[in-house]
């Protein structure tokens, strides 16, 4: 998640309330520890304010604060992850950590109050009325009200804990923006490199394939013109005809690698079936998209499959390839998942030109690409591209 937190799906577990109560109790203890630490910081900082005019003194105070705050913040992150299912990504600075501890103190004390109210309410509900020295009919409803307030307070407390962690312990908006800019710069550079490499590949294909065939075609026709009626002349014309067919086939292959017309005109499913029909290896294709994604997503998915199949044919020694194109809906975000698996020898290098170019193409769409290719195989290339 881009806000710096990840929430585990634990709400449906039967022990979710146990964890929430345990997390609230632990949060009360850490709030007390945080209050003690903040008071100690104030007690040390206020008398030394004149010394902060010197940079060396400011650096020493910052180091001391960081060494004191860091263990408690680390403990808070573990508590949030283990008991509330909220994982914090990144490391906050000292100022943000102090702000979090200061904001956490009243929340933690409120959690202690919630915990104190719950047993009192349960006691009023389950205890016999004669033990309470009276038959007041309002005692049980009062207990139910206390239990309800405690439960609602716990729910609100968990939400507040998550919000505070996201705002103060997670990366700031500037951190997220800098990270995003870094990703965009890297992916842009990767896409430029991949495009340049693809242009070089097309140039090699045209020079070594189509151009050579056209040269042979011209030579055969030139020799046939000298004696077109002879058997040799007719054989040369037949050779020229075959070279024409081969040149057209090579041109179609180059055009498909540049951008298949079927992808633009008929969509990803038809383009992939065309790729399967032209492949030298048998391919099992499972296409499970319920609706066509955006054109850029279709293009990325197609080239992931095309590059993976090309690598399997040229380098892996595979006998069969499996291609799965599925969709995933994760918390309302629809993604296209492409998985290509071959039974070859493995050892594919993710930093190689082809796979690195694919990774750049996928990451430019906020997706991710992974390569699992142990020595001995199999090789599995997985790409996930959001449709948003």
pLDDT in tens, the chain (388 residues): 444 555 444 433 434 678 888 888 888 888 888 888 888 877 777 766 666 666 766 677 667 777 778 888 888 888 888 878 777 766 777 778 888 888 888 888 888 888 888 888 777 777 655 444 555 566 777 778 888 888 888 888 888 888 888 888 876 677 667 777 776 776 666 666 666 666 677 767 677 777 777 777 777 777 777 777 777 777 877 777 777 877 777 776 666 666 677 787 888 888 888 888 888 888 899 998 888 888 888 888 888 898 888 888 887 788 889 999 998 887 667 889 999 999 888 888 887 777 877 887 788 788 889 998 888 888 899 999 888 6
pLDDT at 256: 63
Cα(100)–Cα(165) distance, integer angstroms? 8
Q: Under DSSP, is residue 60 helix (H, G, I), strand (E, B) or coil?
A: helix
Q: Against a cut of 0.85, is the pTM above it?
A: no
Rg value, the chain, Cα: 33
pLDDT at 3: 47
What φ, ψ does residue 86 adopt, rounded to 5°? -110, 115
CA distances from 53 to 43, 56, 161, 260 (A): 18, 9, 36, 67
Q: Is the peptide bond before 307 cis (omega within 30 degrees of 0)?
A: no
């Amino acid at each position: 998640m881009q806000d710096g937190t990840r929430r585990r799906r634990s709400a449906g577990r039967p022990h979710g309330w146990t964890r929430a109560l345990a997390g609230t109790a632990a949060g009360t203890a850490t709030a007390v520890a945080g209050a003690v630490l903040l008071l100690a910081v104030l007690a040390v900082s206020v008398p030394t304010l004149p010394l902060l005019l010197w940079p060396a003194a400011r650096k020493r105070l910052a180091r001391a604060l960081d060494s004191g705050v860091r263990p408690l913040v680390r403990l808070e992150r573990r508590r949030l992850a283990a008991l509330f299912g909220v994982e914090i990504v990144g490391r906050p600075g000292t100022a943000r950590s102090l702000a979090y501890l200061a904001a956490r103190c009243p929340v933690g004390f409120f959690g202690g109050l919630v915990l104190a109210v719950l047993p009192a309410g349960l006691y009023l509900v389950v205890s016999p009325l004669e033990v309470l020295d009276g038959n007041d009919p309002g005692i049980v409803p009062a207990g139910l009200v206390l239990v309800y307030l405690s439960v609602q307070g716990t729910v609100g407390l968990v939400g507040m804990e998550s919000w505070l962690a996201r705002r103060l312990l997670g990366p700031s908006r500037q951190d997220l923006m800098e990270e995003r800019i870094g990703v965009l710069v890297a992916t842009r550079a990767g896409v430029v490199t991949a495009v340049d490499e693809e242009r070089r590949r097309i140039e090699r294909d045209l020079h070594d394939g189509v151009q050579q065939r056209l040269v042979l075609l011209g030579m055969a026709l030139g020799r046939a013109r000298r004696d077109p009626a002879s058997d040799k002349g007719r054989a040369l014309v037949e050779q020229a005809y075959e070279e024409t067919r081969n040149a057209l086939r090579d041109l179609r292959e180059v055009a498909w690698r540049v951008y298949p017309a079927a992808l633009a005109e008929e969509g990803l499913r038809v383009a992939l079936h065309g790729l399967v029909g032209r492949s030298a290896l048998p391919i099992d294709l499972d296409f499970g998209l319920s609706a066509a994604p955006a054109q850029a997503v279709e293009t990325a998915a197609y080239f992931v499959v095309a590059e993976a199949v090309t690598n399997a044919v040229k380098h892996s020694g595979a006998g069969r390839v499996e291609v799965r194109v599925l969709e995933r809906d994760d918390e309302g975000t629809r993604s296209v998942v492409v998985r290509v698996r071959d039974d070859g020898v493995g050892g594919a290098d993710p930093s190689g030109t082809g796979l690195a170019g694919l990774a750049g193409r996928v990451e430019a769409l906020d997706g991710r690409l992974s390569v699992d290719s142990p020595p001995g195989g199999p090789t599995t290339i997985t790409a996930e591209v959001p449709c948003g």
